[in-house]
Structure formats: C-alpha cells, structure tokens
Amino acid sequence: MSIKEFSGKYRFLSNFWPAEVMWGKEKYPTVEHAYQAQKSLDFEEREKIRKASTPGQAKRLGKEVAFRKDWGSVRKGIMELLLKRKFSIPDLREKLLQTEDEELIEGNNWGDTFWGVCGGEGKNYLGKLLMGVRALLKSGRLRNEN
C-alpha cells in the first residue's frame, strides 16, 4: 500500500510542516525554510528566507536567490540531512514510524517531478529520502540530529 500525498493525516510528511530544524547556528521554522535558504551562500539571502513568514513565501524567495554553483550536486544530501533533523523530533519520529512499510509518494499537482510525482510521473526523491530516514529510525541508527 502507498501514501500518495502528504495531506490530511499525512501532512506532517510535508516540508511545510512546522518543525524547527537547525542549520549551522541558525534555527529555521520548517524544513522548507532551511532547504530554500541553502540554495544561496549569501548570508543576507539566507536570512531573508529564514525569516519568511510562511514556508510558501520561503519557497518563492528561494527561486530568486543567486544559486550556489554546486547546488545540483548537494541538494539531495542537504534535504536528507534536514529530514533526519526533522524526524529526530520525538513526536514526528513516532508519526513517521507509524507509516510502517508504506511507500511514501509526494504526489502533487504543481508539476514537481523531481521531489515528487505529478500526473503519474516523477522521481519522488522526497518520498525515497523519507523512506530512507524511516529505515534508519527503525534500525536505531538515527540519533538526534538537531
């Protein structure tokens, strides 16, 4: 069986879910804020994103920054680290573990076929990373990452 989108009782799987994560010495209100900020190496651009009032605003701001040159090669690793930090929060860890062995699919209607699946097409890297974090949690190999 599959969880085909991160809404309703599975909304907590979304990067927009309120879950404070650290990156360096800075605390971000959501994984989305932290992820979008890492697109830039400019402190002021990162701060603007960190202070965005919503994850949606952080996402929009992340499209406007001067992208770091290595972004294509580091973005999945950054996302994985942020997810490990998010799901080291006890209540979120438990919720992720309660998905048991379900396939996690970040189904969307906004055309994201890199992190998710839209119209039956997509790489679903977010879903795959979440399943990897869940496997680490089950095995006891993931400790507090925040």
Got the DSSP string for 53-71? Answer: SSHHHHHHHHTTS---TTH
What is the predicted pLDDT for the residue at 141? Answer: 85
- Three-state secondary-structure class, residue 83: helix
- Residue tagged 């400790």 (tokens): 143
Tell me the CATH architecture of domain 2-139: Orthogonal Bundle (1.10)
pLDDT digits (tens, 9 = 90+) for 57-97: 999 999 999 999 999 999 999 999 999 999 999 999 999 99
Say if residue 146's pLDDT is above 90.
Answer: no
The whole-angstrom separation of Cα 68 and Cα 41 is: 6
Question: Structure pTM?
Answer: 0.95
* 98-145 residue pLDDT tens: 999 999 999 999 999 999 999 999 999 999 999 999 999 999 888 666
Cα separation, 100 vs 103, whole angstroms:
9
